[in-house]
Amino acid sequence: MPSGQRAQWKGFLKFGEVSCGVALYTAASTSDRITFNTINKATGNRVNRIFIDSETEDPVPREAQTKGFEIENGHYIIIDPEEVSAAIPESNKTLEIEAFIPCSDVDDIYFDKPYYLTPDKMGGDAFAALRDAMKKSMVAAIARTVLFRRMRTVLIRPHGKGLIASTLNYDYEVRSSEKAFEEMPKLKIQGEMLDLAKHIISTKKGEFDPATFDDRYEAALADLVKAKLEGKSLPKPKKVQVSKPNDLLAALRESAGMMNAADDKPKRTAANANQGTGRQRAARGVASKAASPGAAPRRKAS
């Protein structure tokens, strides 16, 4: 069980006649991003959300609210929350594996959300047997169960000491790539232009390291919060350098030349950009301000 993290779902993983207790934990989260509250400028107090009738503009209390499906503009079929609950498929709390497939069979456009799949204390042997067998066979597993009120298809893959369970989008949810690219002209690049493009690719090969990618927007928000706390002028945004339009072949030749020159220079190690989240950087600014002598008390905004 991940330290300090609450399981999003607990149940059983079944393959053949073997089953073991498992839990799902969120693998990716936006909770560390900087967030803002809506504030009343006049009072500095936080603003609450109130639902109002679209015609009368009268407030509608929670007990008077229900669900509705729009059949035409302004006309709805009323559906009670109890009816919605009754339509939710029953859950047997079991991720039942239906098939093992090559990992490359699923287009990543179908991937929805990733979860860490871990065993409970009593199911460790069966869990490890499945994990190791999948690794050696180089396969992923397709399973189905009710997750978060909906029947979901889940792709399960070995990952380190555990498994990754990714919920998959349904086919009707994935938009057609043919429609997305239907207006693209049919071009066949060959000769020097293709060779130069391939050369640039060969000189820029590397490895994926997520720690080297920084969230510039989050960093800018952290700098903004810190500047406001310290009473300094707001940081000026950096000017975006727009590339000048060039002849494509000339641009490729220039890029290839730059790549060759770069190969002759000593390579620098990419800096680790994961020096804490934007929220943590902003919090450090708060702590620094609070710790400084003579720091003025701050009015609470929410």
Region for 73 from its dihedrals, namely left if φ exceeds 0, alpha if ψ lies in -120 to 50, beta otherwise: beta
Look at residue 113 and give its three-state secondary structure. Answer: strand
**Lowest-pLDDT range, 170-174, 181-185, 198-202, 290-294?**
290-294
Locate tokens 């030749």: which residue? 253
Is the pLDDT at 268 greater than 80, yes or no? no
**CA torsion, points 279, 280, 282, 284, in degrees to nearest 10?**
160
Q: How confident is the model at residue 45 (pLDDT cuts 50, 70, 90)?
A: very high
* Cα atoms found within 13 Å of the Cα of residue 215, Cβ hemisphere only: 17
Say what the pLDDT of residue 290 is: 47
CA atoms of 226 and 234, how far apart (whole Å) = 9
Say what the pLDDT of residue 245 is: 56
Q: Which of 1, 155, 9 is nearest to 92 (CA)?
A: 9
Beta strand pairing status for 67-72 and 18-26?
Answer: unpaired
Joined together, the tokens standing for residue 53 give 């009738």
Average pLDDT, the chain: 82
Look at residue 221 and give its three-state secondary structure. Answer: helix
